[in-house]
Structure 1
């Protein structure tokens, strides 16, 4: 915009005021955002979960209704919708999209104005001024590469968020299984203490009466102490698992966890594994995110190469000197590429691209190795679980028979306690094997991607 000096002063002032008002109307305004108290929801019933926003089909078709308790699918849905860590990643996605928006904006032109006032107003001298409007042409030329890089970075953050949601679902399923198993085991350990109480009381009475010495009574004393220790350790583990699950769900530390139903069961078949290994880069959101990050770096490198050429600034000027001569003209500024030539930035971006390429190759290799290892682990754990189940069943039957024989006076208490201890250890080992197998199966399923659904969910955001 160039104002004609022949315009009356009030007209020029009016035009400038109008232009300034227009610019101010387009400006953003500040709104405060107070910090929260970080209390979390008092119960799951206070929260709503939109099924349409779920990142996997089995969650997107499930109705969320915590009134009758939370099953394993509802726990996973609540984790996706209300996890504090996922909220932070969604905020990061908002930042990345804002950066992509900023990268696509055209650079603002620069308006310059200056005035000279002669000391002596005589001799026909008048006030002088100069007015100029300029634009950085180089910024316009680099806009395309900046925009492509920012869009690819936003896509990378979006896919990283999808991958984090997958991991959150797996973590929710594992914690659900862990809490349920620990609760069931706590019931069994409490029952074990109750079953050992008569024996412990008899041993204590015989010890006090002098019918037993401490060496002979040690087996009985240790049995109850071991049961108490197992129950205490299990209670501590249960408290930790429940705390982890509440935190994952964004619930208050005292919020009830009414878990219902069976844990999540999954057995990836050979066809799924074959398809995943054959088409892995199109299935895993984290690999797709690394591909997007690589595209962003390619665009950044292209921009650095373009920036080695001379920077150009073009402007229009209008001026009047003190002798009242008015001139119109233009200005061109060019950076002479003699020393820098953006060689440093080009070297940095080239090295960064190589690092991203090596990172992607390493992640892809590690992913294939992890999947093969988990398949082998599942096969081993299946064999162990089958054998341990048969072993635990035999010891459970022996424990039942031993308890009846001891009550009938047909079995001495040291032998009875040894049988009970062996049965309890077998049951505990079986629980540990089941959890290990569940962890491996859920982890393997998390590595299996659904190409069409990945892209569908990524495009929704």
Structure 2
């Protein structure tokens, strides 16, 4: 009866198996099918923003959706689940070992009976290293959790970057389309002059090539737009053909010099990836400590009771010990010590690289800001010249090759301005990601893509 109860208790504590079928990986057919709970957002700017995709996605809503639905982040969260399970496993006590044996006499005789022996033993060495293993597993789980937070921050930056890229490429496409429409006005003049013999093909090449160059630029820009749009769909967990209505202006932030210096000073205490490396280093410290403890002789203690074939009952104990003559766990100790040194050097190199990158990006932003302001003035001057040239051309006061040359220069300035704006937004988003400072969002402002109209 007692054995039945024990078996029932053991079986009741066992885990059960349930199949988990694979999904089809189709993605959401519409943005409205997805949700972005504010409670799970990693940054205050996202946690306090109202999510309403019915009127389109602004840059903050896009970042929220990426955090909630990014397939890459789902894998990171699965890794966290594994790390927590490993921490749980590290804290479990080793199961005792139960042994049972029986001996049957080969000859019958008076006083002979079946002999048996029953023993129960426990691995004491596993108990000695349990605290170190638990501490190492907890630090490992903390590292994975911080890595997940850092991945979420990087996903926010990626969503903001792709949002700006898509809008910028759309603005370039619109500018090229309007230029192509304007250039179509000169095509009849060129063809008529060629037909009348008033123009050679050499002279007409400027007019014929201008429209071809714009069409080529449109095609190249369309390919880049397709790539950015596809990347954004994947990041948001959307099906490739799902409609994506982006509203508002791209994201850009300009930290002050004081904020940069404060962020540099607080860097190791704030950046999740650096905190994750610190947790990983602490986990390795515990692993080394466990390896040092494991060099002592492995000890196994057990108790047994037995009855021989003469019905004589005995009680005793067993002690098993590993003689530390050759191994003494020296190999594992050397491995854990070398790994600790590697993690230490990795952390210091990461901090040094981050400080250098932050200073470089801050200097780049200053340069790009001056370049953008100069390009705005330059593009505006060329836009005024283009409009004046078109009016003169229509009045017959300006030949069409000169008009085309002015249009080409104006188009190049507008596209260069859009490219610099995108580069500046990219650098500012990268700088904020390196800073890891959520308070920089208070100084953030949106800068719309600028281009003159034909």
| TM-score of the two chains, using structure 1 as the length reference | 0.94
| In structure 2, distance between residues paired with 1:239 and 1:406 | 37
Aligned partner (choices 252, 257, 274) of residue 239 of structure 2: 252
Aligned partner (choices 254, 270, 275) of residue 283 of structure 1: 270
1:423 equivalent in alignment to 2:410: yes
Aligned to 2:372: 385
Q: 1:447: Cα distance to partner?
A: 1.5
Q: Which runs of 4+ in 1 moved over 6 A?
A: none
List runs of 5+ in structure 1 lacking aligned partners: 1-13, 454-461
Aligned to 1:8: none
1:186 equivalent in alignment to 2:185: no
Contact 1:83 1:249 in 2 (8 A): yes
RMSD: 1.2
Aligned to 1:446: 433
Q: 1:265: Cα distance to partner?
A: 2.3
Aligned to 2:389: 402
Contact 1:199 1:220 in 2 (8 A): yes
| In structure 2, distance between residues paired with 1:128 and 1:165 | 65
| In structure 1, distance between residues paired with 2:77 and 2:58 | 26
Q: 1:271: Cα distance to partner?
A: 1.9
Q: Secondary structure at the match of 1:126?
A: coil
Q: 1:383: Cα distance to partner?
A: 1.1
Q: 1:450: Cα distance to partner?
A: 4.2
| In structure 1, distance between residues paired with 2:93 and 2:419 | 60
Aligned to 2:188: 201
CA, structure 1 residues 347+452, in 2 after alignment: closer, same or farther (shift >3 Å)?
Answer: farther
Out of 204-213 and 110-119, give the one that drifted further: 204-213
Q: Secondary structure at the match of 1:131?
A: strand
Q: Secondary structure at the match of 1:319?
A: strand
Contact 2:44 2:438 in 1 (8 A): no
| In structure 2, distance between residues paired with 1:185 and 1:451 | 31
| In structure 2, distance between residues paired with 1:38 and 1:148 | 38
Contact 1:150 1:296 in 2 (8 A): yes
Q: 1:45: Cα distance to partner?
A: 0.4
Contact 1:283 1:451 in 2 (8 A): no
Q: 1:279: Cα distance to partner?
A: 1.5
| In structure 2, distance between residues paired with 1:452 and 1:133 | 60
Q: 1:94: Cα distance to partner?
A: 0.3
1:274 equivalent in alignment to 2:261: yes
| In structure 2, distance between residues paired with 1:207 and 1:52 | 69
Q: Secondary structure at the match of 2:184?
A: helix
CA, structure 1 residues 230+78, in 2 after alignment: closer, same or farther (shift >3 Å)?
Answer: same
Q: 1:124: Cα distance to partner?
A: 1.4
1:330 equivalent in alignment to 2:317: yes
1:122 equivalent in alignment to 2:109: yes
Aligned to 1:7: none
Aligned partner (choices 80, 101, 108) of residue 93 of structure 1: 80
Aligned partner (choices 141, 145, 149) of residue 158 of structure 1: 145
Q: Secondary structure at the match of 1:211?
A: coil
Aligned to 1:458: none
Aligned to 1:4: none
1:158-190 deviation line (CA, Å, top 9, x unaligned): 011111111110110011111111112111111
Q: Secondary structure at the match of 2:251?
A: coil
Aligned partner (choices 53, 61, 65) of residue 78 of structure 1: 65
1:55-105 deviation line (CA, Å, top 9, x unaligned): 011000001110010000000000000000000000000000000000000
Contact 1:220 1:417 in 2 (8 A): yes
Q: 1:246: Cα distance to partner?
A: 0.3
**Paired residues for 1:284-299 under 5 Å:** 284-299=271-286
Q: Secondary structure at the match of 1:279?
A: helix
| In structure 2, distance between residues paired with 1:179 and 1:376 | 26
| In structure 1, distance between residues paired with 2:49 and 2:83 | 31
| In structure 2, distance between residues paired with 1:184 and 1:209 | 39
1:18-48 deviation line (CA, Å, top 9, x unaligned): 2112111100000100000000001110011
Q: Secondary structure at the match of 1:424?
A: helix
Q: Secondary structure at the match of 2:186?
A: helix
Q: Secondary structure at the match of 2:317?
A: strand
List runs of 5+ in structure 2 lacking aligned partners: 441-454
Contact 2:135 2:283 in 1 (8 A): yes
Aligned partner (choices 232, 244, 248) of residue 261 of structure 1: 248
Contact 2:186 2:400 in 1 (8 A): yes
| In structure 2, distance between residues paired with 1:209 and 1:324 | 128
1:271-294 deviation line (CA, Å, top 9, x unaligned): 211111112101111100000000
| In structure 2, distance between residues paired with 1:107 and 1:38 | 41
| In structure 2, distance between residues paired with 1:406 and 1:292 | 70
Contact 1:395 1:423 in 2 (8 A): yes
Aligned to 2:94: 107
Aligned partner (choices 263, 266, 290) of residue 303 of structure 1: 290
Contact 1:282 1:451 in 2 (8 A): no
Contact 1:378 1:437 in 2 (8 A): yes
Aligned to 2:226: 239
